[in-house]
Each structure stands twice: as C-alpha cells, then as structure tokens.
Structure 1
Amino acid sequence: MSAQPVNPNLPPDHVTVFIDGVELAAPKGSMIIHAADKAGIPIPRFCYHDKLAIAANCRMCLVDTEVGGRSAPKPSPACATPVMDGLKVFTRNEKALKAQRNVMEFLLINHPLDCPICDQGGECELQDLSLGYGRSVSRFVERKRVVADEDMGPLVATEMTRCIQCTRCIRFTAEIAGTYELGGMQRGENLQIGTYDGKPLTTELSGNVIDVCPVGALTNKVFRFRARPWELIAKESLGFHDALGSNLFLHLRRGDVMRAVPRDNEAVNECWLSDRDRYSHQGLYADDRALKPLVRVASNGDDGDWREASWDEALTKAAQILRDNAADSLGVLVHPATSNEEGALLARLAEGLGTANLDHRIAQRDLSDGALAQPFATPVAEIEQADAIVIVGSNLRHEVPLLHQRVRKAWNRGAKVHVVNPVDFEFAFDIASKAIVAPSKLAVALSAAELADSVKGADNLVVIVGAVAENGIHAAEIRAAADAFASANNGRLNRIPQGANALGLARHGVLPGARDAGAMLADPRSAYVIYGIEPGLDFADQAAALKALGGAQVVAFSHFACQSTRRVADVILPIATGFENDATLTNLDGRDQRAVAAGRLPGQARQGWTALRALGGQLGLAGFAFTDLAGLRASVSVGAPSGATSAGEQSRLKPLLQEEGLELAVSQAIYRVDGLTRRAQALQAHPLTVGARISLHPDDAKAAKLASGAMAKVGNAVGTATLQVNVTDAVAPGCAWIESGYGATAALGAGRVRVEAA
C-alpha cells in the first residue's frame, strides 16, 4: 500500500474510505459505522448506540473490508473497526449479507416469538431487522431458554427472556446515569442481564433503558398493554418540572396521553429524558382534577360547600371579586412553571386592575437583593467542557437530573467537581473537595482560601447555584458570595432558575412593582388571584400563605380542585396543565421553546390563556381584544426585566435568623415538585420518594436522644410537625435536613427548629 494519501487535499486528520463504492472523508480514529451513518448508508446494528461506549457484542454490523486489494479473511464489526486511508467497505455483498443473516439466525435461536403480545411490537429493532435479515424457517428445534423476570421497580417492566445481551442498558446505567445498577451475570448461553442485588432501579434516569433496549426486554411499566404504537399520535411538548425544559413527545390515543418519550435536542437534553418528565403525565388523570368551574356557596369546615357553575357564572363572580378589590387591595400570585403567554396576560390583568402586587417567586424567601432568574452564563451544552465545577446549595441530581448528567460528562473528561452544601448529597461523580456546612455558613465557605486554591489554574470554571441556596433565608448573602467567587476566579456564574419558566415570567413582567410574594402574604390583601398554585404545598411559607389566603377572597385558576385550594378559594376556574397547553417556555439558557397542546382537556377545563382572555374581556380591560393564540403572541413584546421590588424583606427574616435550634436545610423532593408529579402514582412508589422525614447529624441526634426510625416532634415559630428521624453523617453538624413537597414538612417553613422525642 502506498504511503501517499488517496486524496492529498483532505485535512491531515482525515482519511479516504470507500463504502459500497461511495468515496467518503472520515476522521482518523473513527469507526466504519460512523462514516456510513454520516453518509446515510445503512448498516444493521443492535449493541451500537452513538451515546454509549462501543461494545461490539451483537456482531450484527459485520461488513466485508478490503485494503490494498486484499480482502480481510473474515467479516469485521463496523462499530469497532477503525477507518484507514484507502479502506474499501462492502455492506451488501454476499460475504457481508451472509454474515449478517447468520448473526440474526443465532439471535433468534432463543428469542420468544411473542410479537403479538410484546409491548415493543411495532417499534422493535429486532423485529424490523429480522424482516430483512431473518429466515422464514428456523433450523433449530431445541427448546428455547427461559429467563426469570426481575422486579426493577414501578417504572420499568422486564421480560428478560427476550434479551439479546446487547448490554446497552448496562452501559447506560454505568456511563450516563453513573449508578452501575445493571450487569451481566453468568456466561455463555446462561448470560443474564439484571441488577446485582435484586433491588429496584434507583437512578432518576431509569426510563432511558427502555429507549435504548432494541427489543422488548425492558418496557414502560406505566404504558404497558395500554396501546399499540400505530394507534398513537405524537405531539411536541416540553418537560416543565425543572428549568432545563427537556424536549419530548407526548403520545396520545383518542386524546388521552399514554406516554412521554424523548425528543432529540443536543443543546438541551440530548436524547435523554428524566423519569420525572417521562412519567408525570400519570397525574393528568388524578381524582381531584378540576373538571368544571366551582363557586363557593358557604363556609362549612375547612374546604366549604361548593357547587358547579357555568364558565359565564364563574367568570362573572371572579370579575366581581376583582372589581371590588382592585388596586393595592389585590395580590396576584403565579406558579413559576406558568407559560410566557399566560404570564403576559397576568401582567396585563394586574396592570388593568391597578395593582403592582404581582410575583411568581412564590417559593423563595430571601429576595432582599431583588433577585431575578437569569440565563446561564455557560450554556448547558458547554458545561461538559468545563475543567472545574463548583456546586453551591443544590441537590443537583434531584433538582435538574439532566444538568447533573452534563456535569458527570465534564467529570468523565477530567473536570474537578467541588461542592459547598449543607448536606453531602449523592452525586454520580467523584468530588474533588467539599465543604459541608450549615446554610448560614455557605457564603463563608465560598470565601474560604481552600476553595479558591482548589480551582486555581482552571481555564473554564463553572459555578452552579441551586435551590437549597436560592430558596433559603440566607439566599441574598449566598448569591453575592457566589458572584464574587466566580468573578475573582475567572469563572462563570449559573444560578438555576427556581421554576420551569421563572426566566420567561421575569422577562414578561410577572414581577412586583410594590409587594413581592412574601410581602403580599405577610401583609395580607383583601383579594388574590392564584394561578396554577397548590396553596398547601407550593409556597415558601405555607402557614402565612394559608392564613392570608384564608382571610381573603380568592380567584383560583387551578389544575386541581384539591383540599387546600377548596379551603382558600371562592372561585375555582379549571385550566390546562403544561402538557395540555399551547405554550412557550424559556429555559435556563434563555432559550424560548414551544409546546403544542397534547391531550384532550378534561371536563370543561380550558387552556389558561383563553380563560384569562375571557376574564379580561369580562372586566373590559385593555390588551384582551385578540381572538386567537397567534394574535396574543403577536401582541406580546419582551424586554429585559426592569427589576423587582422587595418590601420589608429583612424585617420578615429577622425573627427566623434569631431563633434557637438546628438550622433547617430544605431541598425539593424529586417527585414532589408540583401538583402533577405528586399525583403520578408510579413516581410516588419510586424508592427516591422517601416520605416526610428529618435527617440529623449523629451528634445532634444523640443530643436530642433520638435514633434512626424514631419519631420526633419538630417545631419553630412557623409551625410544628411529627417526623421520622433519619440519622446520617451526610448532614452538617448543627443542621437538620428536610425535603419540601410534603404536607408535614411544609408546616415548618424555614429558619431553625427545635427537635425532641415525640
């Protein structure tokens, strides 16, 4: 073979290959399958996946190769054979086709022929390829082997007799999720894929093993046996349980949402989907879904007496409440996952009624610095290129699972990850250094010389600030310290927006010109509009919220007619959830993304923008004359947020700062972040849903004479709760860790707590 390149005009890092007679340029070190895929030349495969390490297990991609006029003695796996200059590849000649057909025959020896009852039927890679490479008659008459199924938890169903040992699921849990929960046991014909310990999958990304499985061995347990793929219609939608805004498809049958699957977007979620976004659609069909407008008849107990009403009657009642309590007497509180279109209309509604009491930052306590959501200084797709990452006040793996996965990719490339947290949360990567301190000391830890020394010399430093810091009573101090640390070390600050559309709502003016959310509740108004909020669980201070709302007239635009909504509202107007809305959301990169309405709206529920348009028309306000969504979008102009007022913040926080007891560190329970996830039964049965409890450092538990499993009485000036104790040295001394989203822990608010045996 000549030392001269076939094509001297190519860059020095490329070579010339010929695949089925087509001349191609391919990067040195890449594999035949990469060049073929880029050129659109099909090569069958099972084990190969472009996001996973090459395994070369299945051998389905065997091809014939020739170099310098000499043919290789046997077929080569295209996924594991590097390209070289002048290489000729034949994917469809007799030698290649015979090899591929023989591999298919071996794969089908033990595979059950149960396509008619297999949930993967119709979208199965084995089924598709067997049509082109399989035989019509089997030459084997021996009994097929049977593999016992394993319970992998409430999300993933198993039929392991169908498994072809491609190991995609093993590589996913090891390389992408980082949990190493699946593996191959035994050898040869007896090889089986399963968990080592027989326990359910605990990774927050477990549903992705369903997508990578090329057969029906791993399927969606929630979707199983509910529909066939050809019965489904796909609608483009978005995940709205965190600020990443994962792209996904919702699959519908006769208007009902059957399942969610990932929609590829390399800049956002790649080809993955968190379990929270994949399974939360179950909550759409909860028993307490708001189906018809409701009007309070009289107070009778906690949630009063209600009767169903027409939309006209309910809107008339709502309009009367707002007319009677306009201007400064009115507060408008908005869930931070509300769409841009709805947010713009809520801002118009508030302006038309003369109130500047408007806010979406309902879960944040310390807004004394006027903090607003800001786009990431480092785009999500670039985080994996960082060489040093500092995580501040965040259980990142639960808060934004696929952002955590990007950090893992950076770590795999050699990045050093440092943590400043009140709890030693679990991450799927090694931590180079960590400061586990109480919330009041997070800012001081960020200023420590040790941390600065740890990141010295980093060319690409990324600082990520999360919900534990942003939603606590020391948030302003921590934000300032994080900003100073990033600036002093040539890093970029990335504060996770607290809500799926917090950034979009800030841009569309859902911000206070007078009282912020905390001030509206501390100094109650005579009436409120609450939008998309579950009053008993979504506020930073539940006690103050329920007290203020309970003593006022309340118009609730709600997805659910839950007990806490019935307790405080006077009118309940049923609206669409994020999966049922034509909507635009702005993710943490500042990227505007659109979702289309998927699924039939239940009962008389309406999309939120249509309900707001009707109410604005009833009130005769300006800006509500549009007739369709296109007209609304055309009328919306977006500008930079002008800032937000925070009234009396320090005076409200002062009593909390002066209390005695253990400091509270509060993180979000991964599957209790909003009304939809709380009602998704499969997510509530997941091992990561641990229930309401309080975690203490062993020294603090010993001082309180408490052991793991004991019940403790926990209290402060905000409220009291009886919680099960979890003793762990992961919690900083002098600190108590609880998860929000549970009724019991919601009663405690923030600050400090006293803990004693119940």
Structure 2
Amino acid sequence: MPGRRTFASTSARQADITLTVDGKEVTVPQGSALIQACEAAGSTVPRFCYHDRLAIAGNCRMCLVEVERSPKPVASCAMPAMPGAKVWTNSPLVHEAREGVMEFLLANHPLDCPICDQGGECDLQDQSMRYGADRTRFHEITGKRAVEDKDLGPLVKTSMNRCIQCTRCVRFANEVAGVEELGTTGRGNDMQIGMYVEKTMNSELSGNVVDLCPVGALTSKPYAFHARPWELKHTDSVDVMDAVGSNIRVDSRGVSVMRVQPRPNDDVNEEWISDKTRYAYDGLRFQRLTVPLIKQGDRFVSASWEDALAAIAEGLRVSGAQGDEIQAVAGHLADTESMVALKDLINRLGSDNLTLDSVGGHAAPVHAVDVRSNYLFNATLPGVEQADCILLVGTNPRHEAAVLNSRIRKSWMHTTLEVGLIGERVDTTYGYDYLGADAKAVADFVAGKSEFAKKFKSAKKPLIIVGSAVTEHADGAAVYNALAKYVEQNKSQLVTPEWNGFAVLQRVASRPAAYEMGFVPSRKASQTKPKFIYLLNADEADPKSIPRDAFVVYQGHHGDLGAQLADVCLPGAAYTEKGMTWVNTEGRAQMGRAAVPPPGASREDWKIIRALSELVDAPLPYDDVLSLRDRMWEISPTLVRYDTLESTSIEAALAGLKTLAAGTANAKVSGAPFVKPISNFYQTDPISRASVTMAHCTRAFVKGENYGFSELSSKPEAAYA
C-alpha cells in the first residue's frame, strides 16, 4: 500500500509528559502542542489561526507564550510540549508581545463593526478589547490595504478587507471539504485568499468556513443584515436533512428561524454540518400548510379541524376499506412519535399495510428488519476513521451524508486508506478504485478478481458501506445475498468484538426509526390494493401507486408533491416546531426540540393522529407525549435511550447475516447499473424544495447558471437574477 498522503507531525509513541503552566503541573500526551497543554492547565491562550480540527499553520502569532530559557516568546500552537518545561501564558513579556501582534492585525483592518455580521461573536473584537490600543501608529499616506471581494457563490459572503490571513478557510477547504482550489496568492502585504481561477466554492460543506472565520471576512450571505446574535434565542436540536443526525443549534427571533448552526459532537458530526442543513431553513417560511384543507372539485377549501377530521372519518367509511385496504405511507421527514402513533392506529383498524415513500417501499425491504445490524451503520460514524480499506456499494456519501464523507476524506488524507467504488462514478473528494456499476461487479469483488479485492481481504479493519438505494434496486436482493455470504466467510476480519465492518448508510431521516419499529408491510398486505391511503409527510410517493378511486389523506407541513394527491390535507409541524425523537443511521436516538411555534392552525403530528383515532372508533391509549414514549419503549427500548449507541452482539449480527443470505437465496440478476439516488443535493425534501437559497444553489452548482464560471454557462448572470 502507498505511504501517507500528508506529513504526520505527531509522535507515534503514546506516552505522557509533565510540564508546568503558570505554576501548575499538567500531564498531556506526548506530541501535544503547547497550546493544548495550556488549555489542559486551564489557562486561556488567544488564537486566530489555530483550530484543533485543522492542521497547524502558525500564521497569526497571537498565541505567543513565554517558555523558560527561550530568548523570546514562542507560538504555542506550533511548539510541541516538552517534558519539564515551564510556561507562562500571562506574563508582562507575553502581554506586550500580544499587544504588538494585535497592533499589526488592526493596522489594515477596517472599522466595520457596526455593519459587520460577525459583530457580537467576533474573536477579533473580543481579543482587541484586551490587547488592542485606543489609537493607531499607522499613518501610511496611501491608505490602508484594500482587497477586492471574491464571489464564492450564493452561500458565503466575502469582505476581504477584513481578512487577517489566518488560512482557516483554506485548510478546511483542502483538508475537510476537498475543495483544493481555495488557497493564497501573493506574499507579505499583497497576500490574498481566493480561487486562483475565479469560480464558486462548490462544496456541500462550504458554509462551515463562516463558523471558522475568526473575523468578518467570510459571513453568511442569506443571513446578511438580518439579526444580531444577542437578539436570538438558541435551541439545541437535531438535523433531519439526512440520516446522520447532525447536532444543530436553531437560532430564532420571535416566530422565525433566523439561522442554523452546528453543535459540537465528536460521536456524530464533529462540528461540521452540510450546507443544506445550514441554509435550507428559509424553506420553513414558504409553501406552508397552515389550515386544514378539503378538496372540493378541483380545488382545496380551508376548513376547521373538526370538519377536516370528520371528512376523513366519512371518507374511510364511504371507501369501504377493510383490513389491509387501509394503507399508511411514512415519508422522509416523519418523526418517530408520529410513526408509532400512525402504526398503532392502522393496526387497530385491522391493517398491516405500512409502507414507505421510496422506490419499492410498498414491499418489505430485502434486508428485512428483524436484526438491527442488517440496516444500520454498524461501524459507527467515528469508526469510519479506523477502517483501512472501504468498499462503497451503490452510494455517494458526498451527497447522502456529507459529514460522513468528510471523515472518509480525513482518513484518506492522513492514513493509507484504500477506497473502492461499485456504482455510478462520482466525485467523492478522495481517490478510489472503480470496480464497476452493477451486481456483476459485486460478484467479481466477492470472487476476488480485482487488485482492490485482494487488498480488502488482507485489510485489518475492512469496511463495506452499502447505500440505502441498493435496497430499492432491482438487483438489491442479489447484492445483499452476495455481500452477506462474503461477510460470513470473512467474519474473522469483518465481524469481531471490536469491529463490525458491514454498514448500511441510510439517507433519509425517518428510515432507521421506521425499520426499528417495524413500519413495513407484511407480504399479504403489500399485494393488497388500497382504498384508503394516509400519507404522513410522504412527498416522494409514486402517483402511479395510488388508485384513482382511493381516498387519500396528506398530513405534513408543506404543500408539496404529497398534498397534490390528497382529498384532505392536515397541517403538521416542521422539525423546528416540535420536540420529537429522531434515530440516525447508526441507530442513535436523539431528541429534537421546538425552537418556534407551528404557524397558523398547524399541530404536532402525533396529536393529529390521536385526535383522528377518536373519530374512526379506534382511540389510541396515550394522551401526552410521555405516555407515547412509554409505548415506544414497549416497541423498542432503543427508541428512547437518547444519545447512546447500542451495538448488536456478534452472535446476533452473524445470525442476521445468515437470515439475510437465506432470504435472498433465489434472487435473480437483471444487470441494471446502480444509479446515484440523489441527482440534486440541494433539493431532496419539501423544506429544501421550498427554499429560495437552495434554489440559488441548484442554479449555481447543479445547472451551472448565475455565475458564468461553469462550463455549462456561456452567459454570466447576476447571483440573484
């Protein structure tokens, strides 16, 4: 295997060393930077360029500290901690040195604080209060340094006069996002940051540079001039734009969501979020369902809740639906509580016809749902970084789980990780061996016919990542059969007490919980023609699968594709308007919290279903959310064990693989190629489809319009034309 792709600056020897910081002894791992030792001792060291998730640059010199027997202050971010060293972080020498650094930083910095969106949460503001002077000695006749602003696209606003060349954005783009075009040009006073060839910053993680920028050089373009940080209420919640379950903070003012920012969680998203997570919130204001609607003729008429629920009860009676002729469809953004309530209601009405709004969702998935390890990401999200060989089957992590993709890139950059891909060719931001695009490529891999297959078999911690789209593919059963047998045959490497190298990457927020509670149809139910259909946030349902004479109810928060098919529409609450449970692709249950109230007459989804149950003579036995969560505990305790991850035992995982292999034994192969399930990353659900910002991203990055830098566009256009 090839050597490392980057230089390693830390010692391989994991010993501890002891040093003294401000008179206090502290022990840190060998190879730690001096700034990390200072933090461990409880001493605050100011910094601009240093970030613990990025490579060390040593640009800003703000982190200077005094070290015994050193002739001058040293940059603590670039100096390794040495055993027995004595360090002072707040001596007169250090304070004077930092004042000098701050004077240089402010010499060319514009006084934009009153109009800068970074105001109130700016590192430069905070540190200049302590180390800045009240006047300047800079009297250059030609004036302060001025730099032309760069156009990085519809998401990141630039004001390059404020840039202090910390290069955090450059390092993030190169190391995490995989956008290697962002860099520095010039030197000294003429240094600039930008794209050498003018173009947009095309990355699903580009918005994270806004959080990283310690000044106001890079700010959020959609958020510009909308609010000040001290005006906002902060609510910790969970993202639902994919199945990673990124931890987020929803900032709101009054009844409006003003912005979404990441919360650090090393077990899930580190401290990054995707651009769709960060910027799609404006879709919460458009195309909302705010009152119940009843279709009369070819148009919808607003109604009261009583009339709408009565119309549904009457529609159920008139349709004559009995047993499995009553169908429930759960969509991408259905929360766990509402799916449990709907499942209980449908079961009480005598039906097992529980389906999902994906391709093939009308039938039970080929991987079944009896054993959790057959449909979850067993390696865990941080565990990806331990793998030394990864096979991607029918998935594009860059679009299906952008934060997970950044972990794979990080491992690929800093280790000897090898990656293989079976499926449609895509730009993953890291190199890979392309093995083919169909089930035959899987069979060839299992047979060990490629060089990569031989490397995979000799790997210490191999990992197979199967995309959720494989389940929906015509050859899904054959692929799962081949992989299940392969994992069984190589269980000494793939399924051990320390490692489970078979992982299914779900791409939809509701799927793991749906599988966990058994929200799938029985074989008999899947073959029954429905007469009454209940769409719960189901906006991807195939219109051809809905009989013309069926009575259709849509419950959701947007007037999207599902609402167009309905006879009655019930307005539900979006993820920022309710405190509900979400289960990510690992099987980790997390609690989302309400940041703002639902608009108009919208209600929480489970409450709507509970009210309807009374009118259809099938009352549900819970009147509050705590009782509902007791019911969730009865179904599966993991649904309410929040922020913990329960791994499947080796015995259960191997038994699940045997069952999977047996259940798909007679699968036929059509030879159809795998196709990436997401063609437009920026518009995958009702919220992002209603977002103006995501529409601009689609024009700029998918269609190549607006900015004139794409090969697809011959006429430059304004950003918001």
TM-score (norm 2): 0.86
Do structure 1's residue 631 and structure 2's residue 648 form an aligned pair?
Answer: no
Q: Letter of the aligned partner of 1:347 in structure 2?
A: K
1:26 to partner: Cα distance? 2.0
- Show the counterpart of 1:171: 171
Do structure 1's residue 131 and structure 2's residue 129 form an aligned pair?
Answer: yes
Do structure 1's residue 229 and structure 2's residue 234 form an aligned pair?
Answer: no
- Show the counterpart of 1:325: 321
- Show the counterpart of 2:197: 197
Task: For residue 457 of structure 2, give the secondary structure of its aligned residue in structure 1.
Answer: coil
**CA displacement 1:442-500 (0-9 Å, x = unmatched):** 44444443243121321101110114423211111112222223333322210112521
Instruction: Measure the CA separation in 1 of the matches of 2:269 and 2:234.
Output: 18
Task: For residue 449 of structure 1, give the secondary structure of its aligned residue in structure 2.
Answer: coil
Q: Letter of the aligned partner of 1:55 in structure 2?
A: A
Task: For residue 455 of structure 1, give the secondary structure of its aligned residue in structure 2.
Answer: helix
- Residue range with higher mean Cα deviation, 436-445 or 198-207: 436-445
1:137 to partner: Cα distance? 1.4
- Show the counterpart of 2:93: 95
- Residue range with higher mean Cα deviation, 496-505 or 158-167: 496-505
**CA displacement 1:415-459 (0-9 Å, x = unmatched):** 43332323221111122x221234565444444432431213211
Instruction: Measure the CA separation in 1 of the matches of 2:609 and 2:399.
Output: 33
Verify the 8 A CA contact 2:18 2:25 in the aligned structure 1.
Answer: yes
- Report the CA distance shift for 1:18/1:376 in structure 2 as closer, same or farther (over 3 A): same
- Show the counterpart of 1:528: 533
- Show the counterpart of 2:427: 426
- Show the counterpart of 2:51: 49
Q: Letter of the aligned partner of 2:518 in structure 1?
A: G
- Show the counterpart of 2:478: 477
Instruction: Measure the CA separation in 2 of the matches of 1:370 and 1:92.
Output: 60
Task: For residue 314 of structure 1, give the secondary structure of its aligned residue in structure 2.
Answer: helix
- Show the counterpart of 1:456: 457
Task: For residue 515 of structure 2, give the secondary structure of its aligned residue in structure 1.
Answer: helix
Instruction: Measure the CA separation in 1 of the matches of 2:626 and 2:469.
Output: 39
Which residues in structure 2 correspond to 1:356-505 (within 5 Å)? 356-360=352-356, 362-364=358-360, 367=364, 369=366, 371-372=368-369, 374-431=375-432, 433-438=433-438, 441-450=441-450, 451-489=452-490, 490-491=493-494, 492-505=501-514
Structure 1: which 5+ runs fail to align? Answer: 1-10, 299-303, 693-707, 710-758
Instruction: Measure the CA separation in 2 of the matches of 1:329 and 1:367.
Output: 17
- Show the counterpart of 1:690: 702
Instruction: Measure the CA separation in 2 of the matches of 1:264 and 1:355.
Output: 43
Verify the 8 A CA contact 2:290 2:599 in the aligned structure 1.
Answer: yes
1:622 to partner: Cα distance? 4.0
- Show the counterpart of 1:618: 615
Instruction: Measure the CA separation in 2 of the matches of 1:43 and 1:410.
Output: 29
- Report the CA distance shift for 1:443/1:245 in structure 2 as closer, same or farther (over 3 A): farther
Q: Letter of the aligned partner of 1:233 in structure 2?
A: K
Match of 2:675 among 656, 665, 679: 665
Match of 1:349 among 341, 345, 355: 345
1:212 to partner: Cα distance? 0.5
Match of 1:676 among 678, 681, 687: 687
Instruction: Measure the CA separation in 1 of the matches of 2:602 and 2:61.
Output: 53
- Show the counterpart of 2:644: none
User: How many pairs does the alignment contain?
Assistant: 652
Q: Letter of the aligned partner of 1:682 in structure 2?
A: T
Instruction: Measure the CA separation in 1 of the matches of 2:202 and 2:453.
Output: 34
**CA displacement 1:636-685 (0-9 Å, x = unmatched):** 22339999x99xx99xx99x959xxx857242131222111222222222
Verify the 8 A CA contact 1:358 1:515 in the aligned structure 2.
Answer: no
Verify the 8 A CA contact 1:237 1:596 in the aligned structure 2.
Answer: yes
Instruction: Measure the CA separation in 1 of the matches of 2:242 and 2:196.
Output: 32
Task: For residue 686 of structure 1, give the secondary structure of its aligned residue in structure 2.
Answer: helix
Instruction: Measure the CA separation in 1 of the matches of 2:614 and 2:518.
Output: 20
Verify the 8 A CA contact 2:232 2:253 in the aligned structure 1.
Answer: yes
- Show the counterpart of 1:713: none
- Report the CA distance shift for 1:186/1:406 in structure 2 as closer, same or farther (over 3 A): same
- Residue range with higher mean Cα deviation, 507-516 or 218-227: 507-516
Match of 2:33 among 31, 34, 37: 31
Verify the 8 A CA contact 1:20 1:89 in the aligned structure 2.
Answer: yes
1:360 to partner: Cα distance? 2.5
Q: Letter of the aligned partner of 1:668 in structure 2?
A: I
**CA displacement 1:321-360 (0-9 Å, x = unmatched):** 2344242221111114311111110111111111110123
1:524 to partner: Cα distance? 3.1
Verify the 8 A CA contact 1:507 1:640 in the aligned structure 2.
Answer: no
Do structure 1's residue 609 and structure 2's residue 590 form an aligned pair?
Answer: no
Which residues in structure 2 correspond to 1:41-190 (within 5 Å)? 41-66=43-68, 71-142=69-140, 143-190=143-190
Task: For residue 25 of structure 1, give the secondary structure of its aligned residue in structure 2.
Answer: strand
- Report the CA distance shift for 1:579/1:482 in structure 2 as closer, same or farther (over 3 A): farther
**CA displacement 1:503-538 (0-9 Å, x = unmatched):** 11222232223456xx46xx531110011012xxx1
1:154 to partner: Cα distance? 0.8
- Show the counterpart of 1:508: 517
Verify the 8 A CA contact 2:423 2:674 in the aligned structure 1.
Answer: no
Which residues in structure 2 correspond to 1:2-41 (within 5 Å)? 13-41=15-43
Q: Letter of the aligned partner of 2:536 in structure 1?
A: Y
**Greater relative CO (CA pairs within 8 A, separation 6+):** 2
1:126 to partner: Cα distance? 0.4
1:386 to partner: Cα distance? 0.9
Q: Letter of the aligned partner of 1:487 in structure 2?
A: E
- Show the counterpart of 1:266: 266
Q: Letter of the aligned partner of 1:343 in structure 2?
A: M
1:691 to partner: Cα distance? 5.2
Instruction: Measure the CA separation in 2 of the matches of 1:411 and 1:364.
Output: 34
CA RMSD of aligned residues (A): 2.7
Verify the 8 A CA contact 2:465 2:504 in the aligned structure 1.
Answer: yes
Identity over aligned residues, as a percent?
36
Verify the 8 A CA contact 1:356 1:512 in the aligned structure 2.
Answer: yes
1:620 to partner: Cα distance? 3.6
Instruction: Measure the CA separation in 2 of the matches of 1:363 and 1:598.
Output: 33
Task: For residue 332 of structure 1, give the secondary structure of its aligned residue in structure 2.
Answer: strand
- Residue range with higher mean Cα deviation, 483-492 or 74-83: 483-492
- Show the counterpart of 2:647: none
Q: Letter of the aligned partner of 2:195 in structure 1?
A: T
Do structure 1's residue 576 and structure 2's residue 573 form an aligned pair?
Answer: yes
Instruction: Measure the CA separation in 2 of the matches of 1:80 and 1:196.
Output: 28
Instruction: Measure the CA separation in 2 of the matches of 1:417 and 1:543.
Output: 42
Task: For residue 488 of structure 2, give the secondary structure of its aligned residue in structure 1.
Answer: helix
- Residue range with higher mean Cα deviation, 170-179 or 335-344: 335-344
Verify the 8 A CA contact 2:14 2:29 in the aligned structure 1.
Answer: no
- Show the counterpart of 1:255: 255
Instruction: Measure the CA separation in 2 of the matches of 1:279 and 1:578.
Output: 15
Of Structure 1 and Structure 2, the greater strand share is in 1
- Show the counterpart of 2:596: 599
Instruction: Measure the CA separation in 2 of the matches of 1:154 and 1:559.
Output: 26
**CA displacement 1:222-256 (0-9 Å, x = unmatched):** 11111000001111111112211111001001121
Instruction: Measure the CA separation in 2 of the matches of 1:76 and 1:657.
Output: 65
**CA displacement 1:688-721 (0-9 Å, x = unmatched):** 75259xxxxxxxxxxxxxxx99xxxxxxxxxxxx
- Report the CA distance shift for 1:360/1:296 in structure 2 as closer, same or farther (over 3 A): same
Verify the 8 A CA contact 2:358 2:472 in the aligned structure 1.
Answer: no
Verify the 8 A CA contact 1:61 1:79 in the aligned structure 2.
Answer: yes
Instruction: Measure the CA separation in 2 of the matches of 1:606 and 1:132.
Output: 49
Structure 2: which 5+ runs fail to align? Answer: 1-12, 495-500, 639-651, 705-710, 713-721
Q: Letter of the aligned partner of 2:293 in structure 1?
A: L
1:307 to partner: Cα distance? 0.6
Q: Letter of the aligned partner of 2:532 in structure 1?
A: A
Instruction: Measure the CA separation in 1 of the matches of 2:562 and 2:25.
Output: 66
Instruction: Measure the CA separation in 1 of the matches of 2:30 and 2:670.
Output: 61
- Residue range with higher mean Cα deviation, 401-410 or 262-271: 401-410
Verify the 8 A CA contact 2:292 2:571 in the aligned structure 1.
Answer: yes
- Report the CA distance shift for 1:46/1:549 in structure 2 as closer, same or farther (over 3 A): farther
Instruction: Measure the CA separation in 1 of the matches of 2:637 and 2:581.
Output: 17
